[in-house]
Amino acid sequence: MILQRHMPFYREIFAIPDFLQHPILSFGYQGIERDGPSVPSPFMPRLFVASEGKMRRLVNFARSSLRWHSPAPEECKYRSLSELLLSRGHTATTLDFFDNRADLRYDMNQPVPELEHNKYGTLIDIGCLEHLFDTAGCLENCMRMVRRGGYYLLHTPVNGYFGHGLHVFNPQGLIDCFLANGFKIVYLKYTTYKGKPISDPSKSRNVIVWVVGKKEKDVPVFACPQQTIWATDYYPQATISTSPATAA
């Protein structure tokens, strides 16, 4: 789901020269939030509201305040990422194992067919990776599906989000994975769930990383990065490679 409060970051990313290259693949069928941020629940305990009439007035006031202070971005008139891209002259293929509106129904825990390798100019993952148990397999699929010169946008939690998905990531591991597998990082930001940019993802709750990699070369064997902090702690003089290990 694309949230209204995150729209400024999509604008920045879509403005990267040649970011939107055909064919475009949306990993996950991505709807766009159209009704604005949530308002107080009508099930709020009566301790705070004396009557149903007051509850309705409170909800209506909250909605009108949100509309006044935070008008919906123009992009939010579209129902989905596919519709938004189409309005700008782009078509997108969607991949979603569960959503029957998707064009492709691959289980990304499993290797995708080789006919999908090096096929897409842009792959957009908005909050899907954390829902896959085999994240290494999923990352390998995504990176192999992007052709050389293409882009891969990954948007995923790196702090908080208890129970949201199956994983919350160390962002350094994701960055190292991009670099080890032939990608150059061209965009990197951290934000809160509410869309506030932050410099230190360890200092806030429910933090998202926005990372865009440009594929510069093909790597024959997928490279799983090591968490080098442990090796350098035990062996301060060690040089750690993020390329696949070779047998001694």
Query: Taking CA 62 as the corner, what is the angle to CA 61 and CA 64, rounded to the nearest 5 degrees?
Result: 65
Task: At 248, list the tokens.
Answer: 């001694």
Number of H helices, E strands in the chain: 6, 7
pTM for the model: 0.82
The band of 53, judged by pLDDT with boundaries at 50, 70 and 90, is low
Query: Taking CA 197 as the corner, what is the angle to CA 194 and CA 201, rounded to the nearest 5 degrees?
Result: 95
Of the candidates 149, 154, 15, which has an alpha carbon nearest to the alpha carbon of residue 88? Answer: 15
Residue 45 CB: number of other CB atoms within 10 A?
A: 7
Q: Which helix (H) or strand (E) holds 86?
A: helix 81-87
Q: What is the pLDDT of residues 109-133, one digit of tens each?
A: 999 999 999 999 999 999 999 999 9
Cα-based torsion angle of the residue sequence 8, 11, 12, 17 in order, rounded to the nearest 10 degrees:
180
Q: What is the pLDDT of residues 182-197, one digit of tens each?
A: 999 999 999 999 999 9
Cβ contact 27:142 at 8 Å: yes
The whole-number pLDDT of residue 11 equals 97
The whole-number pLDDT of residue 247 equals 36
The band of 63, judged by pLDDT with boundaries at 50, 70 and 90, is low
Distances (CA, A) of 150 to 143, 144, 213, 217: 10, 11, 8, 10
Q: What does the alpha-carbon distance between residue 19 and residue 177 come to, in Å, rounded to a whole number?
A: 20
**pLDDT value at 242 more than 50:** no
Phi, psi (rounded to 5 degrees) for 195? 90, 15
Give the contacts of 219 (CB within 8 A, at least 6 positions apart). 143, 180, 181, 182
The whole-number pLDDT of residue 70 equals 63
Q: Which helix (H) or strand (E) holds 164?
A: none
DSSP-based three-state secondary structure for 160: coil
Mean pLDDT, all residues of the chain: 86
Peptide bond into 40 cis (omega under 30): no
Task: At 104, list the tokens.
Answer: 């492709």
The whole-number pLDDT of residue 71 equals 78
Give the contacts of 21 (CB within 8 A, at least 6 positions apart). 121, 122, 149, 150, 151
Q: What is the pLDDT of residues 74-120, one digit of tens each?
A: 999 999 999 999 999 999 999 999 999 999 999 999 999 999 999 99
**pLDDT value at 239 more than 60:** no
Task: At 13, list the tokens.
Answer: 């990313």
The band of 228, judged by pLDDT with boundaries at 50, 70 and 90, is confident
